[in-house]
Amino acid sequence: MREPLRRAGLVLLSIVVGLVVLELGLRATTWGYLFAWSNFVLDARTVLAERDAGRYAHDERLGYVPRSHYTAAGIIIDAGGLRRTGDHAAASGPAILAVGDSFTFGDEVTDAETWPAQLQQITGRRVLNGGVSGYGFDQIVLRAERLAARDKPADIVVAFIADDIRRTEMRRLWSADKPWFVMEGGKLELRGVPVSPRADPWATLTFWQKSLGYSYLFDFILRRLDLLHDWFGDHIRVHAPGVGELISCQLTARLAELQKQSGARVLLLAEYDPVVFDDPAFAAEQRRLTGGLLACAEKNGLATIDSFSALGTAPQPRRLYGLWHMNNTGNRLIAELVAGALR
């Protein structure tokens, strides 16, 4: 047995030596990384935690909400945790509440370029931007209920993208714990509340992230394969893929109850990320998810808007987006669709 073991040891040693040489060689091409040996996963999660600590405040029911009085370039959050939509004193008529994810909040654009702000410009009515980046459809519905009770709007626009449905299957997204729903006796039951504060980034790393996270070679390979999202991201599932569709469908019944109890008209708005216009297979799945949720909403008596046709028939739909989210032109189109539906 000595000879096979010796050969196996030599093979293993040669692999290790080869990887070390590749690691050092690759780091030498950047020079700076030759002397900096930090953990790439930890660095990414630490930066995210520090950024979010400034932008958001922990919330025991929703996970996190925009921090009151937060300001950044082109962003102002008011005392009520809503993004600025313009001069409310110049607006008249009953208020409109907009809730949703980063597409509603308006990532990549200034306050005045978000679709809620442009909806206020078009309608002349006060529009409250309650969008929160990273929210799942479950968090969106919970935030709609909270803000409707506080601000008493006449209309509530609940916006989503297909990925928000998947997010209802999670109890942690991008290192932030969140609430989730389960089906008990045919009814939705809220779980995970009170939501725990964000964990220390180091405590969220797996054994492999604590070890391979130091490798520039491994990071380089994953980056070229476009696999860094799952490697850097801190996501924890509580439901199998597909369960989110059932939960989201049931949540539209909850929105219908909100419409009944508050007296506010609820409108469900489907938005789309730009990959839908780049990848036909991806588009088909996103359209299936979106169509299913809109059908559930209509069955429960809610008005709906599917923005796909309006976006798809625009000259070069990709020009309606920045890197990932709607730009000023795209948000104007969405605002016009919502204004038309409200009229």
How much is the pTM? 0.91
**Alpha helices (H) in 33-101, listed in sequence order:** 40-55
Q: What is the pLDDT along the chain (343 residues), one digit of tens a residue?
A: 678 887 877 888 788 788 788 888 888 888 778 888 899 999 999 999 999 999 999 999 999 999 999 999 999 999 999 999 998 888 888 999 999 999 999 999 999 999 999 999 999 999 999 999 999 999 999 999 999 999 999 999 999 999 999 999 999 998 999 999 999 988 999 999 999 999 999 999 999 999 999 999 989 999 888 888 888 889 999 999 999 999 999 999 999 999 999 999 999 999 999 999 999 999 999 999 999 999 999 999 999 999 999 999 988 999 999 999 999 999 999 999 999 999 9
Residues 62 and 160 in one domain: yes
Residues 216 and 231 in one domain: yes
Residues 123 and 259 in one domain: yes
Cα 5 from Cα 98, distance rounded (Å): 67
Domain that holds residue 26: 2-34
Residues 136 and 79 in one domain: yes
Closest residue by Cα to residue 259 from 108, 145, 163: 145
pLDDT of residue 298: 98
Residues 104 and 145 in one domain: yes
Residues 269 and 185 in one domain: yes
Residues 85 and 27 in one domain: no
246 Cβ contact list (under 8 Å, min separation 6): 183
pLDDT of residue 291: 98
341 and 305 in contact (C-beta within 8 Å)? yes
Kindly calculate the radius of gyration of the chain based on its CA atoms and give it in whole angstroms: 23
Q: Is 243 left (phi over 0), alpha (psi -120 to 50) or beta?
A: alpha
Cα 52 from Cα 55, distance rounded (Å): 5
145 Cβ contact list (under 8 Å, min separation 6): 254, 258
pLDDT of residue 55: 96
Report helix angle 328-342 to 115-123, nearest 10.
50
pLDDT of residue 77: 98
Residues 308 and 167 in one domain: yes
Residues 73 and 15 in one domain: no
**DSSP 3-state assignment of 337?**
helix
Residues 8 and 136 in one domain: no
CATH number at residue 233: 3.40.50.1110
The domain total for the chain is 2
Residues 71 and 203 in one domain: yes
- CA torsion sign for 97, 98, 100, 104 is negative
Residues 290 and 195 in one domain: yes
